[in-house]
Amino acid sequence: MRLAVTDPGVPEIFHSLQGEGVSAGKPSVFVRLSQCNLHCVWCDTAYTWNFQDTEFQHRDDAPSAPRKYDRAQETVDRTVEELTAHLLALPCRRIIFTGGEPLLQQRELGELIQRLKEVDPSFYIEIETNGTIKPLGLAAELIDQFNVSPKLAHSGNDLAIRFKLETLRFYANDARANFKIVIETPSDLEEVKALVAEAGMPASRVWLMPEGRTPQELHQREHWLAEACLKAGYNFTGRLHIHLYGDTRGT
Ligand code: SF4
């Protein structure tokens, strides 16, 4: 499987508190997989996809010097067997596969989860996905929780690649799925309302989260967004890890 790294050759696997959404505050082991099928302009893990041999745009790009990552330096491959051994040796059984888009590697992911649960059925597996890919096979069967984060227009992705109605409806009909939507401005709320209605997402399973990679950016959006959540009946989530650790890898 292809993973992101904290340092060259060192897979980004770390023990921390979940910072966002329904499991916020829970101790978890994060496994960051590389590669994404979307390219959000504000993505805080652009090192999983904004490689030198691509032409994607990101907010950090300067016009004359786009910030591109070296694919060989930013990725590392591990077998399912190696990852199984690595995760079994860690002290926490809540595993969160994140990315990038983890479901791009869902066949191997399903095998890995199966091996983990065979050894210790207490493993609880969450996955963070952008909601454009349906889980299949072992992944569909064995993942305990889907944290689905559909992207709005401000992400900079074309509608055709970021919005897959049938897939969102699939998740809306699966009680294991909850939705986390990144909000930049109050005008995004109309887009959220339409998205939630069209996909049939129950408001009780929708979390709205301010966009921001610094405590200051988050603070500017938290107050009006909290009020908007109260009014509309959605859940609110901050980004605990940014407040605790900043925008750094491995946290
Ligand atoms: S879907 Fe997630 S990982 Fe992919 S570009 Fe958007 S924010 Fe980044």
The CATH number assigned to the domain holding 123 equals: 3.20.20.70
Which strand (E) or helix (H) includes residue 22?
none
Q: Is 59 annotated as a binding residue?
A: no
Protein residue with least CA distance to atom 3, ligand 1: 100
- Ligand 1: which of 2, 32, 39 to mutate, most ligand atoms within 8 Å of CB? 39
pLDDT for the residue 55: 87
Whether residue 98 is annotated as binding a ligand: the answer is yes
**49 CA closest ligand 1 atom index:** 5
Instruction: Domain of residue 166: give its range.
Output: 2-182
Ligand 1 centroid distance, CA of 99 (Å): 7
Asked whether residue 24 is domain-assigned, the answer is yes
176: in domain: yes
Q: Is residue 207 part of a domain?
A: no
pLDDT at position 35:
97
Asked whether the beta carbons of 80 and 112 are under 8 A apart, the reply is yes
List b or e across 216-234, with b for residues whose CB sees 16 or more CB atoms inside 10 angstroms: ebbeebbeebeebbeeeeb
| Position 234 in a domain | no
Query: Which residue, 19, 45, 33, 59, is CA-closest to 180?
Result: 19
239 within a domain of the structure (yes/no): no
**Nearest protein CA to atom 6 of ligand 1, as residue:** 40
Please state the separation of Cα 84 from the chain's center in Å. 21
Does 110 belong to an annotated binding site?
Answer: no
Structural domain count of the chain: 1
pLDDT in tens, the chain (251 residues): 999 999 999 999 999 999 999 999 999 999 999 999 999 999 999 999 999 989 898 988 877 766 899 999 999 999 999 999 999 999 999 999 999 999 999 999 999 999 999 999 999 999 999 999 999 999 999 999 999 999 999 999 999 999 999 999 999 999 999 999 999 999 999 999 999 999 999 999 999 999 888 999 888 899 999 999 999 999 999 888 888 888 887 77
Residue 31 lies in a domain: yes
Report CA(118)–ligand 1 centroid distance (Å): 31
> What per-residue confidence (pLDDT) applies to 99?
96
237 Cβ inside 6 Å of ligand 1: no
Question: Residue 194 falls within a domain, yes or no?
Answer: no
206 CB near ligand 1 (under 6 Å)? no
**227 assigned to some structural domain:** no
Please say whether the dihedral angle defined by the alpha carbons of residues 36, 39, 40 and 46, taken in this order, is positive or negative. positive
The reply, when asked if residue 150 is annotated as ligand binding, is yes
Neighbours of 214 (CB within 10 A): 13
